[in-house]
Structure 1
Amino acid sequence: MDRPNDSQLPPPPEEQNDQQPIQVVPPTYRTLYLILYNFVSASLWSVILGRVLLITTLFGYSSVHFGVADFTRWTQTLAALEILHAAVGLVRAPIMTTVMQVASRFLLVWLIAYCFPATVSRSPAYTSMLLAWSVTEVVRYSYFAVNLAYGGVPFWLTWVRYNAFFVLYPLGIGSAYVLFTHMMAQRKKVMRSLREKKDV
């Protein structure tokens, strides 16, 4: 009995001898490093996402800064490696774009959230910014890790990677803008107070 050409059954033994064996190419150290880097980054941002959701649910948004700020700051600092990755050609990313993206986040975690904790903790914008960042980064780093490890990405992950930004990007940018304007208002208040003390 003849099998149809599209049958899922294995070919008869005489046909198997004509086929070339599949060669498995071991991953390079570069690929292994990038898989590890992306896996670790996705895991760290997953922890931030979980902590933000848990703290917000149990204690409210005003407790989020004190519960995750240090962990977020150091997790974001790890992203400085992405500048190095782009600079040495480990990844195909434009160096200036990478520098601008990492620097903007550094501004928020090191100069605003770190220097003005009381101002940041009073604003729900810090919580919404971390939610936007953490979901974005979990998806992004997971996408890269899966793609490098398996040579492809499931449809759903690709869809989320390229569509979630419609919601997450405006949320992240809007939250950062609110934090920045709060910081500028705080700066103005401090500078006015210093001038008044100087005039006395």
Structure 2
Amino acid sequence: MASSEEDGTNGASEASDEKEATGKRRRLGFLATAWLTFYNIAMTAGWLVLAIAMVRFYMEKGTHRGLYKSIQKTLKFFQTFALLEVVHCLIGIVPTSVLVTGVQVSSRIFMVWLITHSIKPIQNEESVVLFLVSWTVTEITRYSFYTFSLLDHLPHFIKWARYNFFIILYPVGVAGELLTIYAALPYVKKSGMFSVRLPNKYNVSFDYYYFLLITMASYIPHTTSETMAQVLSCSKG
């Protein structure tokens, strides 16, 4: 799901600001802080590369068709690399919820690998561009925020962007994801992809089409809770 709401030093859900950075470093220790700084710099750079590639593609081609195919390798690498954020929570170098971070990261992995990668006919949908742009701007802002916070040098604009861009980016990202899943439904229903039919030796069945419908419905409570969480973060920031 769209993750302008993701917070934490490594990309988890609770907002941080520059006043907390020094105390966090004392708790984390030098090696953990150095790793998190490197990680956030690398992720900022990765999403910047994606942003530049998307702008360059559109300027050269004048269309969004083919955009996803041109940037998919970079997108898959950096979005999958974000699984480390769950590890950060598990080993305790980031004091945030493993469950919340896991849901946020896995929802992105789901969109990248089980929707857009697996269902090629939808890769040229305009909705894909919506969530790509939303994700890219969100992640550049998010990871640069964490980097500067760790370095005790948080520019005012980065802090402002961190707490305000979500007002536009979050609904745009959610809309893009939902519309992309919706566009995938006819293909999934016709092809039966990822579905398990009876009879089989395990005596279990799974219908990916209905799973996607349930996933779309789950956006309603998730979007509501994350919006409220981000509003609270803004009030603190």
Q: Give the TM-score, by structure 1 length.
A: 0.78
Q: Which residue of 1 aligns with 2:139?
A: 137
Question: 1:83 matched to which residue of 2?
Answer: 86
- For residues 160 and 93 of structure 1, the distance between their equivalents in structure 2, rounded to whole angstroms, comes to 22
C-alpha separation in 2, matches of 1:99 and 1:130 = 20
Partner residue, 2:170: 169
Instruction: Give the structure 2 partner of residue 188 of structure 1.
Output: 189
Q: Is the 8 Å Cα contact of residues 130 and 175 (structure 2) preserved in structure 1?
A: no
Q: CA deviation at 1:136?
A: 0.3
2:45 paired residue among 43, 52, 59: 43
Percent of pairs identical after alignment?
A: 27
**Tell me, what secondary structure is at the counterpart of 1:113?**
helix
Mean alpha-carbon deviation: is it higher for 177-186 or for 30-39?
177-186
Supply the AA of the counterpart residue of 1:118. P
Partner of 2:3: none
User: Match of 2:158, as an amino acid?
Assistant: L
Higher relative contact order (CA closer than 8 Å, sequence separation 6+): 2
Give 1:185 deviation, angstroms. 1.9
Which runs of 5 or more structure 1 residues have no equivalent in the other structure? Answer: 1-24, 192-200
Cα distance in 1 for residues equivalent to 2:115 and 2:39:
27
The aligned residue for residue 113 of structure 2 is 110
Deviations 1:95-135 (A, max 9, x none): 111000011001110001111122222x0111121111011
For the pair 1:95 / 2:98, whether they are aligned, the reply is: yes
Which of the two has higher C-alpha Rg?
A: 1
**Structure 2 unaligned residues grouped into runs of 5+:** 1-25, 193-237
Contact 2:69 2:123 in 1 (8 A): no
Number of residue pairs aligned between Structure 1 and Structure 2 = 164
List structure 1 runs of 4+ shifted beyond 4 angstroms: none
